[in-house]
Structure 1
Amino acid sequence: MPNILIIDDEKSIRVTLSEFLKKDGYHVITAENVQMAKHLLNENTIDVVLSDIIMPKDSGITLLKYLHETSPDIRFIMMTGEPTIDTAVEAIRLGAHDYLTKPVYRNELLKAVRHAANFKQLIDEKRKLEQQNLEQRENLERLVEERTYKLHQAMLNTAYATAAMLDLRDPYTAGHQKRVGSLAKAIGKELKLPEDTVEGLHIAGCIHDIGKIAIPFEILTKPVQLSQNEYAIIKEHPKIGYDVLLSYEMPWPIAEIVYHHHERLDGSGYPQGLKGDQIRLETRIISVSDVVEAMSSHRPYRASLGLQSAIDEISLNKNKLYDPAVVDACITLFNKKNYTFNED
């Protein structure tokens, strides 16, 4: 049963009201002043407060204000032997649930307390449901985070495995994709992109050349410059990679990034000749990372051109071929933050 607190400076009224409520099954405690009532409120779980307004020291209005600030869910019923419109309005304004005039008769008292207690029960049930919903939501969010992390790890492992397969077919560019993935990730962080976007960049970089799986081995490893026809075959690898990746469900636009990683801002790239904002930011990051790593590494048909040549290339063609913000971030990493290529 609900717990009721009665506050009145007259003992006879406290005893009478208490007996009425106890006979109806309520748990009742009493206080003769506001100070004692505050102590009991701190020590007990109270559902309904029944308080006189006019008392020798602090008034019932004082207690109502206190409850309004500390325990607004507790239902408050005012009692007074000198009812006025102003007093009633003030009580209701401060959140009083009901208002009784003295002498308080049994039936009138039970009706008011029953209604207040039922209302408090509804509030408690609502709070409980809200808490349960919060806990369930937190548990669900935690579960989603765990599953997302495992999914990302699985995708990353797949990306690494794919990169390793390409390394076996094209040993001259072994590790290229993983180094591009690492640089793209670092550039994304330098640009302060969201963590999830940076993770997608890493994966995209690690498999950006997946389409080369379908390119003949003798073309991939040819130790001299490719013919025009051979180069045309090589240029098919972004579309092949795109077609392969379309069958994978990923939380990032990996297929699109792979498809466009050879596009350039001025439209001179391939395979679609996209320009400017037609090329998404992630793709621009992979493009710069790819160029810098490729020029810094050995190829079957040439020795490494060196990191400085790669930096010069992207600097010279900033705003023309390469995104300026991406170029600046890349140069900052190498020149000011001592970035070095790795395959982590």
Structure 2
Amino acid sequence: MNKSQDDRRRAMWRNVLPCVTIAAGLVLSQAAHAAGYNPVTQQAQSKLAALGHDPGPLDGIPGGLTKAGVLAFQKKSGLPETGVLDAATLEKLGVGTSVDKANAVVDWIPVPTQGDLDKLVAKPVNSPSAPYTDYRPNAPAANLDLPGAAILAAMNASADVFGSRPAGQPKHTDEGFKYLAGCLKTGFAPTHWSDITIHYYCMMSKPRACYTYALSGKSTGAKLPRPKAYQGCASGVLPNGNDFAFVAKTQPLVFQYVMFGQTHAFNHEQEQAIINAFYGVKNAADRNECRLKRPLRTEDPTDGTHCLVNKNMNAILVGKGD
């Protein structure tokens, strides 16, 4: 290699190396950012913002502004000024993180009527006063109560019909559980779906085809919003609507309430209680039990903490316009 070629090679690497370094830094930054995302932190940030204590972006990641907002709230509330979202601070904010609710799932609200659901959906999109349909990225947690016992009963009914319980449980089938686990690990990546939404939905191996294809546009040529997808499937107008008749017949109100809401529409504590109860998780804090009994969604942590309310997830869950 002559001197001019050597000089050109050196110049090339001088230009390339900074780019590689920057790219690697971006990947690391994104990974660190995602690893720090916590739905309880995001809910607490929303509460702090509503109380006038600026927590910075409502992104579920505890940065410097979040710490300042927490300190201000703690000072005003007479709590120890730690700047940390500890149990006492979360309780004062009204954000729950209990790990022992799985054995006491109840209807925290009655199952909404069709009229109630229509009013929720009719609210303006992207309006902070309409948390159920607030599709903004990083939408504030709305913390809506759930008809827990009714949702659990609907999940059980679906699992009985489609065999989607884990092995060793009544009416389990290998095919049904394979469909459930595959749905939870979907590449469709519904990061705008809450935990209760995706676990409930994945119980249904056949009915969900109509709804999924309508949302993705696969069966319609254009992506449909969730209410219109439901209407098309329930009426039998859309492909695979005959299979969807199971939903329309057995749990239409529960389906609409759970599926139409955004990522942060619901009370996280109640969500985890229902899910853990379905899978038979008795102690959500027991990592081994959690790993053995409850399958992972794509965005869940893989360290056995995915049964907890206060968990750091692999991807940021954000609202999404329909």
TM bucket normalised to smaller: under 0.3
- Which has the larger strand fraction? 1
More contact order relative to length (CA 8 Å, sep ≥ 6): 2
Normalising by structure 1, we get a TM-score of 0.26
